[in-house]
């Protein structure tokens, strides 16, 4: 981005309609970059596939005055961190977060090609969330076009393991969020009307393993201790933790156990998904799960797991950032609304440390579904909103 000698003021920075008009004039460029990124298929489960999309993003940022650092991954395809080369020291930082991995396996483009049909763009990952990455690039380029250097330095972090829990990248996101005055998460918006995700549930996974005692089911059943019988009690206890009115969901999604029909089962197990709205509920439910005790004599429980992604709660600083976006949206005739999302994102992590606004990405539908698409004009409008937010001064 081109540097300016002084911070932009309300008088000399571009208006929302100017930015939007500029972005609409670059619609073909927007689609071309999104196409290049989409054709670089990048399933989370294939680390080597992550290198090409990371290079596509890094090269574009470097062309626009950013220094891009390729960060190696411990278990996955690595991450990308970029900051302006001519950044000013001792200025506050704002964090832009996105991911370039997708849920789609290599070869998906054969049956699900990148297509543009009027205002609709289809393809694997265009909505979740290569369209969001494209918005970051074009919002930054719009500011450079108007010579509008934000007083809050924008830095970009993009990871390759978000779809599988960000286990490798969360340490980087946490460190960056601690240093930022705010974070914008370019995950897709919610629903075809494009609601921002101002609240997200925390997400956890727990594994329960039960050990019993094998015995012949016909000759010596009394000598056995059925791990499956114990599992039946555990499953009921877990489902009893559901509280719909509080938004607490506990789902036993997978079970296994036993050796054969004529053997009292010596082992069994279950995998449990937990969703909560607040950190208080997260602690309470986690304690209840880890506190389960066996009720069948001769059996024992081994329980592992935790709430891996904390809830994104409507904290005062998050509400202030939402209010800012809501106010700016009127300038570009955008009727912005908000909603609760049941799934987690990297915004759940940033929200622990800084003001966070999630769901700023594409408007469309079909995340993780064969009909995945985005609305082009509406997504450009979100890119304009992002550019406007980036120009805002740091809040106290």
Residue-level pLDDT at 13: 85
Q: Is the pLDDT of residue 374 over 80?
A: yes
Q: Where are the beta strands (DSSP E) in 24-128?
A: 66-71, 79-84, 93-99, 115-117, 120-122
Contact 96, 184 (CB under 8 A): yes
Contact 90, 105 (CB under 8 A): no
373 backbone dihedrals φ, ψ, rounded to 5°? -160, 165
- Read off the pLDDT of each residue in 3-28 and give the average, rounded to a whole number: 77
- Residues 136, 154: Cα–Cα separation, whole Å: 10
Q: In what order do the strands lie in the sheet with 153-159?
A: 66-71, 79-84, 153-159, 93-99, 182-185, 355-357
Element (H, E) at 245: none
Q: Is the pLDDT of residue 1 over 60?
A: no
Model confidence, pTM: 0.90
107-155 confidence digits (pLDDT tens): 999 999 999 999 999 999 999 999 999 999 999 999 999 999 999 999 9
Ordered DSSP codes for 275-293: EESSHHHHHHHHHHHHT--
Domains and CATH numbers, the chain: 16-200+312-391 (3.40.630.10), 202-309 (3.30.70.360)
* 160: three-class secondary structure by DSSP: coil
- Read off the pLDDT of each residue in 274-286 and give the average, rounded to a whole number: 96
- Residues 196, 246: Cα–Cα separation, whole Å: 21
314-341 confidence digits (pLDDT tens): 999 999 999 999 999 999 999 999 999 9
- Residues 173, 23: Cα–Cα separation, whole Å: 29
- Residues 57, 36: Cα–Cα separation, whole Å: 10
Taking alpha carbons only, the member of 163, 156, 162, 115 closest to residue 137 is: 156
257-269 confidence digits (pLDDT tens): 999 999 999 999 9
Residue-level pLDDT at 89: 78
180-230 confidence digits (pLDDT tens): 999 999 999 999 999 999 999 999 999 999 999 999 999 999 999 999 999
Residue-level pLDDT at 395: 78
86-114 confidence digits (pLDDT tens): 877 778 999 999 999 999 999 999 999 99
Q: Which residues fall within 8 angstroms of residue 46, CB to CB, at 6 or more apart?
A: 77, 105, 106
Q: Which residues are 205's β-sheet partners? A: 273, 306
Contact 265, 212 (CB under 8 A): yes
Q: Is the pLDDT of residue 25 over 70?
A: yes
Residue-level pLDDT at 93: 96
Q: Is the pLDDT of residue 376 over 70?
A: yes
Q: Locate 278 and state its tokens.
A: 């607040």
Return left, alpha or beta for 351; rule: phi > 0 is left, psi -120 to 50 is alpha, else beta.
Answer: alpha
Q: Where are the beta strands (DSSP E) in the chain?
A: 66-71, 79-84, 93-99, 115-117, 120-122, 153-159, 182-185, 196-200, 202-211, 249-257, 267-276, 300-309, 338-341, 355-357, 364-365, 373-375
Q: Locate 328 and state its tokens.
A: 């700016």
**Omega before residue 353 within 30° of 0, cis:** no
33-77 confidence digits (pLDDT tens): 999 999 999 999 999 999 999 999 999 999 999 999 999 887 788
* 256: three-class secondary structure by DSSP: strand
Residue-level pLDDT at 7: 43
């Amino acid at each position: 981005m081109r540097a300016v000698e002084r911070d932009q003021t309300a008088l000399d920075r571009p208006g929302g309609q100017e930015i939007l008009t500029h972005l609409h004039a670059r619609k073909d460029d927007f689609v071309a970059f999104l196409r290049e990124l989409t054709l670089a298929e990048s399933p989370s489960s294939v680390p080597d596939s992550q290198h090409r999309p990371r290079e596509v993003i890094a090269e574009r940022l470097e062309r626009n005055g950013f220094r891009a650092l390729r960060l190696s991954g411990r278990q996955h395809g690595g991450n990308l961190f970029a900051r302006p080369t001519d950044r000013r020291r001792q200025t506050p930082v704002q964090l832009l977060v996105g991911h370039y991995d997708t849920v789609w396996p290599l070869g998906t483009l054969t049956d699900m090609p990148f297509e543009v049909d009027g205002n609709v763009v289809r393809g694997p990952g265009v909505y979740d969330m290569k369209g969001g990455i494209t918005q970051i690039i074009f919002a930054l380029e719009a500011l450079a076009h108007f010579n509008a250097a934000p007083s809050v330095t924008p830095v970009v972090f993009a990871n390759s393991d978000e779809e599988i829990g960000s286990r490798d990248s969360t340490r980087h996101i946490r460190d960056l969020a601690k240093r930022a005055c705010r974070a914008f998460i370019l995950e897709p918006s919610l629903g075809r009307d494009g609601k921002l995700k101002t609240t997200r549930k925390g997400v956890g996974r727990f594994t329960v393993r039960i050990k019993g005692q094998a015995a012949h089911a016909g000759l010596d059943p009394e000598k056995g201790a059925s791990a499956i019988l114990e599992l039946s009690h555990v499953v009921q206890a877990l489902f009893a933790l559901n509280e719909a009115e509080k938004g607490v969901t506990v789902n036993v999604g997978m079970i296994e156990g036993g050796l054969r029909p004529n053997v009292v089962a010596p082992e069994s197990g279950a995998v449990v998904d937990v969703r909560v709205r607040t950190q208080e509920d997260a602690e309470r439910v986690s304690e209840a799960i880890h506190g389960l005790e066996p009720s069948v004599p001769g059996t024992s429980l081994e329980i592992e797991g935790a709430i891996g992604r904390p809830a994104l709660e409507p904290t005062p600083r998050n509400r202030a950032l939402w209010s800012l976006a809501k106010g700016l949206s009127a300038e570009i005739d955008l009727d912005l609304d908000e909603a609760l999302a049941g799934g987690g994102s990297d915004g759940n992590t940033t929200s622990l440390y800084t003001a966070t606004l999630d769901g700023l990405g594409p408007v469309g539908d079909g995340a993780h579904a064969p009909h995945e698409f985005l609305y082009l004009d509406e997504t450009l409008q979100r890119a304009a909103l992002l550019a406007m937010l980036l120009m805002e001064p740091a809040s106290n």
